[in-house]
Chain A
Amino acid sequence: MIGMLEVIDGGIGNGIQDAGRFGFRHMGITVSGWLDPLLARCANALVGNGPDCACIEIRGAGPTLGVRHGRVRVAVAGDMTLTVHRANGQSFPLPAWESLVLDPQDALETGFLAGGTAYLAVGGGVATPLQLGSRSTYQRARIGGVNGHLLASGDVLPCGALGRNERREYQAPPWQHVQGAVRVMLGPQDGHFKPESLQLLLSSEYQVTPQMDRMGMRLDGPALAHIRPEAADIVSDGVTPGVIQVPGNGLPIILLADCQTVGGYPKIATVISADLPRLAQLKPGQTVRFCAVSAVEARAARAESEERWCAWVQQLTYGLHNASSVGDDVDAFWNAAG
C-alpha cells in the first residue's frame, strides 16, 4: 500500500537522509547520509522500519506535513515535540519516542528542536527515488532527496501505508549517547603539528561556533600550531567525516557527512566512528573535549556502541493506542506494517 505525505511547510535545514551513498567518492561525490545514524535508526525502529530506511533529518525549524493518502505511522527520535492536527479539527501534542498512525487529511506539525538533530521516520520509509544508490540529499550536487533539494512546501513524499484496522503504536525510552570526551585517533597528519599542539588538543575545551552545517563544524579554542608554517598546507589527500583538519590559523574544523572528498589542510586527528553521531547533537556555544584512543580501543568502542543500540531496541514496546478500534492479531499487524 502506498502512503503519501505532502510537505505543507519545509521548515529550515530539513532533508531526506539514509545511511549514505557509498562507492562514488572517487568521483568527488561525498557519502552524505545521517549525521546521527544511531538516532535515525531509533526513529526507524519506532515506526517498525528496518534500520536503513530513509527518514527526515531535522536540523532547524522543523517541517509540517499533511497526509494526502493512506494511513501513515510516524515517530520522532530526538529532543523535540510534535503537534497532531486531526482532520476532525482535534489537535494534541505527540511526544518524541512514541509512534502515531495518522489518517488521510491529518497533519503533523513539528515543534522546537532542543537538540542538534532529530529524525522523523515514517512507516515504510520515505520512498523518494534512489539516486546513485541512496536517497540522501546532497544539496551541492543536487542529488537525492526531492530533486536534490531540502524539504520545501509542495514536495510530495511517498511512503508505506497501513491496513485500515491498524492502531498499534510503538514507544521506547529516549536514546542516550555516551557522555564524556569525544574519542579520536591521532593522524593521519599528526606529524605536521608540534607535540604541544597534540597535548593542547587533548587537554583543552573547544567551543562549537555558529559556523556549522552538514559539511563541517568550526571550533574555537586554543590554536594548534603546525611544526612549521609551511606544514599547514599539504598536497590534497583523502578525508572522511570525523577528520579534524587544522588550517593555518590553528583552529580545528571537524568535517561531517557532506564534507568534500579530499582536502589540503593537515588532519591532526579523526573522531572515531562510535563517537561521530554525538557531534550531530552539538549546538553553537556548547563545548567539546577530546581524548586519544588506539585503533583497538576504537574498534571496541564501535562494537560497544552497536551493543548499546541493540539493548535499546529490546526496550521498544508496542501496544494499542486506541484499544476500541483494533483487534490484537499480531500476524495481521506485521502484514499491515510490511
Chain B
Amino acid sequence: MNANRGECASRACLLPVGDTAWTVEFGDTIDPAIHAQVLGLAGSIERQRRDAGAMDVLGAIVDVVPTFRSLTVYFDPLRCNSQRLGESLLQLASTAESIATVGRRWRIPVCFDEEYAPDLNDLAQCKGLSREAVIALMTETEFQVYLIGFMPGFPYMGGLPAALHMPRLSSPRKAVPERSLAVANDMCAVYPWESPGGWRLLGRTPVPMFSAADTSSPSLLASGDRVFWQAIDAGTFREMEALARAGKLDRDSLLLHEGAAS
C-alpha cells in the first residue's frame, strides 16, 4: 500500500503528488522556523535553476509553490525522471539554509471605519476590547506572508496577536467585498476580489492585491513578505481607491525600506 510513500531526509519528507509534482514537507504546523526552511529551499531551487542549464533535472520544473510548511514543485513528467528530480530536491532540502526574511516590507493603508469593517465591533466585544484597542493591535503588528493561494493574490498571513483570535463565522458570507481585511483564528488576509468567505472583516484597503496587467508581478504580495497595516480615514480611502482605479497608485510607495520606522 505504501509503495509510493516518499523518503525522508533529516529535515524534510518527499511526498508524491501524482506523477507531476513533489511536495517537500518540513512539518505539519504553522511555525516561522518551518516556513524559513520552506523559503530557504525555494531560494536554493531558484538559484540552481538559474545557474544550471536546461539540461539539468531542475529544468523540467514548471511551478514552485511555497506554503506554510512545505514546498510543492510541479514538473513536466516527459522532460525528466521524477525519481531523480525528487532526489535532487531532497538533497537541496538537506543543505539549504533557512531564510527568515527574504521578502519586502510593506505599509499598506486600511480604513477601519464601520462601513468597511462589519465584524470589528463584534470581535472587539467578544474579546473585551475597545474598537480602538483592536485597531491599535492590528496596526502595531508585523504580519508575515506565508503563502499566496486560495485565489490569485490572496495572502495568508501569520502574526495575528492572540488577543484577536476567533474562529471563522459559523455561516460564511455570500459576498465579501473586494479588498476586505479579514481575520480567522491566528491568520490574517485580504480578499483580492468579492467572493464568498467566512473570515471576519475588520477593514478594507484601497490597494489592489492583484493586477493581471502587471505581468511581472501580478500579485502585490509574495511568500516571505512582511506587512504593517496603516489606519486611514474614509476620505483618504476613497481618494486612494480612485487613484488605484485609474492605474495611478504607485505600488513602490507602499514599500518600507530597511531601518524605516514602522
Contacts and interface: CB of A to CB of B under 8 A. Distances in A.
Interface of A: 22-29, 31, 131-132, 140-143, 184-191, 195, 198, 234-240, 242-243, 260-262, 267, 270-274, 292, 294-295, 298-299, 302-303, 306
23 contacts: A25-B64, A25-B65, A26-B65, A26-B66, A27-B210, A29-B219, A131-B212, A132-B212, A140-B151, A140-B193, A141-B193, A186-B2, A187-B16, A188-B16, A236-B149, A236-B156, A260-B149, A260-B151, A261-B149, A262-B67, A270-B19, A292-B4, A303-B78
Contacts of B152: 24, 27-29, 140-141, 143
B134 to A, nearest CB: 26
Interface of B: 1-6, 15-21, 23, 25, 28-30, 62-72, 74, 77-78, 81-83, 147-154, 156, 193, 210, 212, 215, 217-219, 222-223
A235 to B, nearest CB: 5
The 5 closest A-B pairs by CB, nearest first: A238-B72, A270-B18, A188-B15, A27-B219, A262-B149
Q: Which one of B63, B210, B217 has the highest number of Cβ atoms from chain A below 10 Å of its Cβ?
A: B63
Given A26-B64, A188-B23, A273-B20, A295 B83 contact: yes
Contacts of A240: 17-18, 20-21, 72, 74
Given A132-B212, A185-B18, A262-B147, A22 B63 contact: yes
Contact of A234 (B28, B64, B74, B154): B28
Given A24-B63, A31-B63, A295-B19, 4 more contacts: A26-B66, A141-B210, A191-B5, A243-B17
A235 B30 contact: yes
Given A187-B5, A294-B3, A302-B19, A24 B65 contact: no
A260 B5 CA distance: 24
Contacts of A260: 149-151
B218 A132 contact: yes
A29 B218 contact: yes
Contacts of A190: 1-2, 4-5
Given A28-B149, A140-B151, A187 B6 contact: yes
Given A273-B20, A294-B4, A25 B63 contact: yes
A299 B148 contact: no
B118 to A, nearest CB: 23
Contacts of A236: 67-68, 147, 149, 156
B18 A271 contact: yes
Contacts of A298: 18-19, 77
Given A28-B154, A236-B156, A295-B82, A132 B215 contact: yes
A187 B28 CA distance: 15
A260 B147 CA distance: 13
A133 to B, nearest CB: 8
B198 to A, nearest CB: 13
A139 B222 CA distance: 22
Which residue, B5, B78, B212, has most C-beta atoms of chain A within 10 A?
B212
Contacts of B150: 28, 260-262
B67 to A, nearest CB: 5
B21 A238 contact: yes
A184 B17 CA distance: 10
